[in-house]
A and B are shown apart, each in its own frame.
Chain A
């Protein structure tokens, strides 16, 4: 990049060609006030706070949109500019309702901070007092148009980073408003409630209902940990005041995982289930009764030593590696059983077997590529995965690739088009015909000469079933035209990414995974280390658990006498409940009361996500560190401590490795 030299405030400074004047000021420690500028978003010059004087320009120009060039002579803080800035602030304050004393964001407001900086103790203009609505319809956020300064940061973050394009300017001039879709209430719009706009808003115009009046940022401690919800592994800044979570923010709002999602930013704060606060054992009357740790441990020790086999351990993939491996040890060495699984172990076995069948093995999960590749993709094939629902950040990255880079999007899904506004082709195979479809696509790609020649040998074609387009069409119910179009789209891609998930894995057919890997390999869609293929792993630390070998084998329910379920704060579902029914002796270590704890023989309290620490492995293989944001209430033990204490009761020493 070419270096350029400018003179700013009589000092020579250096910058890169292509930088704006504002960027060069910031890089050189020259503090130019801004409002509509936001690091990582495009600049629009809406607020005019950053105006500077440039020699040769007839009037002050916004530095955020002014491209710097060699030899520019810039002044940033002349008396006239400072007067203009004060004047702009007064105009903003008189335009709508910016009275701070009844604003939720007072103390956390960039507009207010600038008014203090410019000692704005009065305004010289009449106030407009427009009658503007407040939109409180969403479960999570409120848009108060009275507090809006029309900087457009929310709109830009919604389109450029969250890639959802819900927010935009509506109406014109004096009447301009930030609107959702075609002026729908935001709660009834296409908004996904990722909350990126809440974090980007400089004033009290967009705020979170869940953080309302809980505390100001500067009263909070900021702890960076990892989201416990899905396998993407987004970092969360947890803002804590008096051991309560005030809000959750993205440490890097405009980064890859920046927008966060409804689950990570909001739902974690909306926990209404009652906590398990002390150990419980089922008493003589059949009711769960509070008891001491010691008596709970005795009951478990007695039953476990009496069982002699048939005792299994299942653990939530929300648990960090340290707890996972200690649990493994506990079941194997202390209980003496090799029946161990994770709640999502089935997904692992299908993925692992699918990878195993591909070219006799490969490198396990390392054959997959990092999620960054989605942004770089020119074509995305998403098979049996509702990414926007299960892994929202993946949905965001897909939409960014489509809207910003023109990537083509092929959805393979028998029941729904998971990206209805974005999909180029929706392939809707009849239930059970996914295998034919995927292998059929491979065949069509080979027939069209779009496969890498050395990969498309006769042997592979044979193994793919040697389908012709007509047969594939008849079996799957998809038109020949769509099949050919999809084959061309994916076959011609240079950086095509395949994403698959829950829907495909639920088919219980590892060969579908193999077929997808074949497709990527055949077309030369290789990543640095493996293939451009990503599986959406269900749990936050699924990959950690799988790599530690906790999900190697399925536990058959018949003959099972006892089960230790380390559930933590994982949400239970009916499927799990069904699996647990009929087990003689059930120990559940859980954070919340639920139908699962209500059928347990012993319930042990477990910390929630914010009370845990340890390490996760993200679904694409990054090691992530969990930090404790909340101190657990007195008397609560960490999951690992519980296992260690139980081992003592069983006469064994268990130490974390």
Chain B
């Protein structure tokens, strides 16, 4: 049986969802029989090649996030997102209560440990968007696993459903937003 090819990416996030994925523990061993992880922070491969399932953790906060999301979408048949940041905006979207300038100033100049701070402005750096967005406001998303982070159980459920050929929707009992 050919393995299902999977690529994952983390955008504006804490990587907690990927940690939760690793929390599948011994279930991961079974999964490796069925899936092959190509590009992913876990394999440290950064260039996407065509896969069956793309997985995104994190919200869209800057030009880099948008580029990666679009690249993965272009390379996958089904796009699944993990975590409240990717599904809704989550913790990352807290900054939407302030302007981009306020956020940068607070972060690079006003923090208590900073002296003579400066907002970085190189062209090589990704540009922050005015607002943080959930992934589905940038590319089409096929399925969602909310949670902060989603439990290993929720991630396992979603992957198992995909392997069975179904688009997963978390049942109420295992869906959590925290």
Contact = CB atoms under 8 A, between A and B. Distances in A.
A121 B169 contact: yes
A530 interface: no
Looking at A103, A116, A117, the one whose CB has the most chain B CB atoms below 10 A away is: A116
B20 to A, nearest CB: 13
B146 interface: yes
A131 interface: yes
A93 B134 CA distance: 13
A121 B141 CA distance: 11
A559 interface: no
A121 B157 CA distance: 14
* Prevailing SS type, chain A contact patch: loop
A112 B169 CA distance: 17
A53 B125 CA distance: 55
B88 interface: yes
Interface stretch (B5-13, B27-35, B38-46, B170-178): B170-178
A121 B171 CA distance: 10
Given A97-B97, A129-B131, A121 B145 contact: yes
Contacts of B171: 119
Interface residues of B, number: 28
B96 interface: yes
Interface residues of A, number: 22
Contacts of B172: 116-117, 119
Given A99-B88, A117-B172, A127 B146 contact: no
B87 A99 contact: no
Given A126-B137, A129-B131, A112 B177 contact: yes
B89 A121 contact: no
Given A119-B175, A123-B88, A102 B141 contact: no
Given A93-B88, A99-B89, A129 B175 contact: no
Contacts of B136: 122, 124
B84 A101 contact: yes
Contacts of A123: 88, 134
Contacts of B177: 99-101, 106, 112, 115-116
Given A115-B177, A123-B88, A99 B141 contact: no
Contacts of A60: none
A122 B141 contact: yes
B148 interface: yes
Given A119-B169, A121-B144, A101 B93 contact: no
B146 to A, nearest CB: 5
Contact of A122 (B88, B96, B97, B176): B88
A99 B144 contact: no
A107 interface: yes
B178 A106 contact: yes
A122 B134 contact: yes
Nearest to A121: B144
B94 interface: yes
B175 A99 contact: no
A115 B84 CA distance: 13
Given A116-B175, A119-B171, A99 B94 contact: yes
Looking at B88, B131, B146, B148, the one whose CB has the most chain A CB atoms below 10 A away is: B88
Contacts of A100: 84, 148, 177-178
Contacts of B84: 99-101
Contacts of A119: 169-172, 175
A116 B177 CA distance: 9
B91 interface: yes
Contacts of B143: 121
A109 to B, nearest CB: 9
A119 B169 CA distance: 7
A121 B170 contact: yes
A341 B172 CA distance: 60
Looking at A93, A106, A124, A127, the one whose CB has the most chain B CB atoms below 10 A away is: A127
Interface string B66-95: 000000000000000000100111110110
A102 B90 CA distance: 9
Contacts of A117: 172
Contacts of B169: 119, 121
B152 to A, nearest CB: 17
A121 B146 contact: yes
A542 B91 CA distance: 53
Contacts of A124: 136
A129 B96 contact: yes
Contacts of B97: 97, 129, 131
Contacts of B176: 116
Contacts of A101: 84, 90-91, 148, 177-178
Contacts of A122: 87-88, 134, 136, 141, 144, 146
B102 to A, nearest CB: 11
Contacts of A126: 137
Nearest to B176: A116
A128 to B, nearest CB: 10
Interface string A118-162: 010111101101010000000000000000000000000000000
Nearest to B87: A122
A129 B93 contact: yes
Given A119-B171, A129-B93, A107 B87 contact: no
A167 B175 CA distance: 34
Nearest to A132: B97
Given A112-B177, A122-B141, A99 B170 contact: no
Interface string A83-117: 00000000001000101111100110000100111
A552 to B, nearest CB: 59
A116 B131 CA distance: 26
A97 B84 CA distance: 13
A85 to B, nearest CB: 14
Given A101-B90, A123-B134, 6 more contacts: A99-B177, A100-B84, A112-B177, A121-B144, A122-B141, A127-B96
5 contacts: A99-B177, A101-B148, A106-B177, A119-B172, A122-B141
Q: Which 6 A-B pairs have the closest CB atoms?
A: A121-B144, A100-B177, A101-B148, A129-B96, A106-B178, A100-B178
